[in-house]
Amino acid sequence: MKTLARPLIALAMTAALPLAACANTNEDATEQSSTSETSSQATSTAASSTESTEEKEKEGVAEAKEAFGSLAPESVFEDFESCEPAGVKNAMDCSGPNVGQFQFSRSESKAASMTQLLTELRSARVVKDTGRAVVGWNTLGSTAVITVVDNEEGTVLQQMTSTDQKDPEERIEELNLLQAPAVVESEKEQPSSSAASSSAAVESEEADASDQNDADDQNDGADQNDTASDS
């Protein structure tokens, strides 16, 4: 019986080997499948996160353009990759690879104070002043703060730049800030204003001349009366 049992045990073990190998193969396949699924999910999540971030950035740029579009030309907003709320109320920080970083803000008091600073401070220079729009810069040490103000909208654009690397006026030209809608639109309005002023001046001169003629006529009449009295 012992002699018979040994071959049976050996046979049973031999039969079990393929089953064990099969089980191991299934486990390996399951692990590989699980790893593949996890990797796929991670890739999908990362792609979704990237798309979500890009959408938010585009929305931020669109929001900034809608709120502050009069302060800079289209080319500046097209270069922006992101615009986010700044730490100050009604303000946004925007940045682009070519145009650099900007801060936009909406505040009538700030617009008024920046206009006063640019037009009155000795360390400030005005490049363009149309009444509605003021474009210029002021210096703080070796740093220049380029500023565009739209007094009609109560909005302000600012960018800091090093005077050691770039002349502020050259930077303004480089960014094409003199083509900002606030500047262009107010320049178009100026000729009509000038014409109205000229017309008013002419009317005033004509009125003065008429008054002078009336006065002369009165004097002539008085002289004639005096002559008649003497006679």
pTM: 0.64
- Mean pLDDT, residues 168-178 taken together: 97
The arithmetic mean of pLDDT across residues 111-115, rounded, is 98
Q: Which has more pLDDT, 186 or 17?
A: 186
pLDDT of residue 205 exceeding 80 = no
- Do the domain assignments include residue 81? yes
pLDDT score at 14 = 47
Q: Tell me which H or E stretch contains 156.
A: strand 155-162
The three-point CA angle 47-50-55 to 5° equals 125
**139 is a domain residue:** yes
Domain that includes residue 156, residue range? 53-179
Fill in the DSSP letter of residue 178. G
Q: What is the number of domains present in the chain?
A: 1
Residue 114 within any structural domain of the chain:
yes
Provide the 3-class DSSP secondary structure of residue 229: helix
User: Does residue 10 fall inside a structural domain?
Assistant: no
Which of 111, 124, 105, 130 has the alpha carbon at shortest distance from 181? Answer: 130
Residue percentage of the chain with pLDDT more than 90: 55
Is 102 contained in some domain?
Answer: yes
CATH number at residue 136: 3.40.1000
Write out the DSSP string of 106-139: E-HHHHHHHHHHHHH-TTEEEEEE-SSEEEEEEE
Instruction: Judge whether 169 lies within some domain.
Output: yes
Give a yes or no: residue 225 inside a domain: no
* Residue pLDDT, tens place only, 153-164: 999 999 999 999
How far lies 166's CA from each of 143, 158, 172, in Å?
10, 16, 10
